Amino acid sequence: MGLTLREALSSISAVGGEKAAKAALGALGFGPSAHRQPQPLKLAKDLGRGARVLVLGAGIAGLVTALELKRAGFTVQVLEARNRVGGRNWTLRQGDQVDYLDGRRQTANFAQGLYFNAGPARLPSQHRTILDYCSELGVPLEVLINSSHGAQVRPDLQQPAFSVRQAHNDTRGHLAGLLATAIQRDTLDDVLSAEERTRLLAFLQGYGDLSQALVYEGSIRSGHYVAEPRPGALPASVAPLALDRLLHPELWGALLHTEYPEFSATMFQPVGGMDRIVDAFYSRLTAEVQLGARVQRIRQLDDGVAVTYHDQHSGLEQVVRADYLVSTLPLPLLARLDTDFSDPVKAALRTTRNDQATKVAWQSERFWERNERIFGGLSWLDHPAKVVWYPSNDLNHKEGLLVAGYVTGEGAAAFGARPLAEQYAASREAVELLHPGHSQALQQPLAVSWEQVPFSEGPWLQREHFPEDAHALLEQPQGRVYLASDGLVQSGVGIWQESAANSARHVVAQLGERVLRQRQAEASHAVS
C-alpha cells in the first residue's frame, strides 16, 4: 500500500467515519513517517572555509544545520527569536514561564527535579539520526514506556474503566471466537484449504485463548481475579467484557498506537528531559547562536543574502549578510515574513497551515504507581482530554509529572481555546474518571497549547493542507536560500526531531555539494 495521507484518511473514514479516522491518525499526532536513511554527510573539513551561512531558528533543524556546517568549516550565524534554543523541544522546570500570543502567562511551579516535555517526548528506535546525535554528543538515554498493560481505558463514560490488558485480550478473544465459529460453519471453505482450516482453528484457540469448544470465555491474559487461591488451581481470570463494550474507535489508540513503527517498542527519552539534546548541541554552538534576534526581512542579492532582524537586547534593527541562508522557521511563519521569494514559492508557503495541540501537566504523588501498578504508558478515555500519560522517568519515586491531557487532532483547537482554568478542570476530570478519588493529588497545573506559543504557533503542520506540488517546490533551494523543516518532504514523510534533523542534513548536503562544485569550477578556471 502506498496511500497518500488523504487517501488513507478517506479509506478509514469510509467505514469508521471522520471521527474514527481522526482517532486513528490524529491520536498519533499525525500519520506515520518514512524511515529515510540518514543523509550521509562526508563533507571535507575545510570545505566551507571563507563561506558564511545564516541559519534562521535554533530548533533541532537549525542546531543540526549549524553544527554540521561548522564542522565543514563554514562560518555560521544562527538567529533565534526566543531567548532560549530548542524551539519545540522545550522542557519546562520550576520557574519557567509560558507566555502566550494572547498575553496570558503561566509559570511552572513543579518541585525541583520534576520536568515537563511540552514538545517532543519520545525517540523511537528507528529514529537513527537523532539517536546517533545523542550517542555522539553524550546524551544519556533511558527507556520511554509508550504502553503499559496496567494502564486504563474508558471508551464509554457510562461504563467503568478497564485495563489496557483487558482491552487487548478480550478483543482478541472475541474476534478469534467469532472467526472460529464462522470457519466451523464452513463459510470460508472457498478461501481456506482443509489444511489451512485445521491449522487456523488450532491457531485461533491459542491466539484467542478459546475454550475447548472454541468459544471465548475469558482469559487469564486479561487479568487475574484476585481471590484466595485454592491448592493446585490456576487463579481465575477476570470476567470477559462483552464485545459491544470493545467496539469503540476510542479504543484504537490503546489497542493500536504502539503498532505504528514510530510508536512501538523500543522507545527512548533523554535522562533528565528532552532538552538535554538541545543542551548538547548548544554547548557546541554557543558562539554561533544569537538569541533574541527576530527576523523581519529576507532579501536575495547577486552574491548572497541579506537578513534584517530586530535585536531584542539592543532594541536595534540589524542587517546581516551571508553567502547562503538556511531557514528553519515554521513555514506558515516564513510565509508572513517580508521576503523576495518568487510568487510560486510565496504561494506554496501560504498553503501551509499549523495544527493545534495542547498538553496539560501536573505535579502529583504517584498514586498510579503505588496503587494501580501503572508504570509509564498511557490511559485513554472518551473525554476532551483524550489521554493520561504517565512518566517513564524516576519510577517508584514519591512524586512525578503527570501529563493529563494530550489533545491533538479533532478537538484540539477547541480545547486550546478554552480558558486555562477550564483546561485544568477538564484535565482533573479526566484523571478522576480514570482514577476515582485521586485527582485531588494533582498540583501546580501547567498547560501548553502550541498554537499560542510565539515563534512556533503550532505543534506541526497540518499535512492534509500541504499540496504535493508545494512540497516539491519548497524542498528546492530558492537561489541561495534553503529551507529545512520537520514538515518538509525531503526528510521523508517525517515526524518529530528525526525529520528536523534529516531535513537539516539534507540541506547541508545540498549546500556542501554546491560549494564543492563551485570550488572545483574555480580551481579548474585558475588552472586553465
Contacts with a second copy in 17-76 (CB under 8 A)? 17, 20, 24, 31-37
For a second copy, the closer of residues 189 and 522 by Cβ is 189
Contact code string over 460-489 relative to a second copy, x by CB under 8 A:
------xxxx-xx--x-------------x
Q: Using CB under 8 A, which of the segments 191-199, 325-333, 349-357, 403-411 binds a second copy?
A: 191-199
Task: Give 120's strand partners.
Answer: none
Residues 367-386 that bind a second copy (CB under 8 A): 373-377
Residues 319-358 that bind a second copy (CB under 8 A): none
Residues 397-416 that bind a second copy (CB under 8 A): none
What is the maximum span of the chain, computed from C-alpha positions, in angstroms? 95
For a second copy, the closer of residues 98 and 280 by Cβ is 280
131 forms part of the interface with a second copy (CB under 8 A): yes
Spatial contact of 284 and 137, defined as CB atoms under 8 Å apart: yes
For a second copy, the closer of residues 200 and 417 by Cβ is 200
Q: Using CB under 8 A, which of the segments 52-60, 152-160, 184-192, 444-452 binds a second copy?
A: 184-192
Spatial contact of 155 and 248, defined as CB atoms under 8 Å apart: yes
Residue 350 C-beta: closest distance to a second copy, Å: 17
Residue 314 C-beta: closest distance to a second copy, Å: 42
For a second copy, the closer of residues 354 and 392 by Cβ is 392
Measured distance CA(321)–CA(302) in Å, rounded: 12
Which triple of cell numbers denotes residue 439?
485527582
Measured distance CA(185)–CA(197) in Å, rounded: 11
> 3-class DSSP state for residue 148?
coil
Q: Give kind and range of the element (H or E) at residue 321.
A: strand 317-322
- Nearest CA to 395 out of 420, 367, 415, 369 is that of 369
Of 161, 214, 293, 298, which lies in the binding site for a second copy, with binding defined by CB under 8 A? Answer: 214
DSSP string, 190-213: TTS-HHHHHHHHHHHHHHHT--TT
Of 182, 287, 301, 521, which lies in the binding site for a second copy, with binding defined by CB under 8 A? Answer: 182
DSSP string, 442-493: -EEEEEEEGGGSTTT-SSSB-GGGS-HHHHHHHTS-BTTEEE--TTSTBTBS
441 forms part of the interface with a second copy (CB under 8 A): no
- The pairing of strands 305-311 and 162-163 is unpaired
For a second copy, the closer of residues 70 and 172 by Cβ is 172
Of 42, 102, 191, 525, which lies in the binding site for a second copy, with binding defined by CB under 8 A? Answer: 191
Of 84, 142, 296, 320, which lies in the binding site for a second copy, with binding defined by CB under 8 A? Answer: 142
Q: CB-side exposure of 436: number of CA atoms within 13 Å?
A: 5
Of 27, 121, 145, 298, which lies in the binding site for a second copy, with binding defined by CB under 8 A? Answer: 145
Residue 244 C-beta: closest distance to a second copy, Å: 6
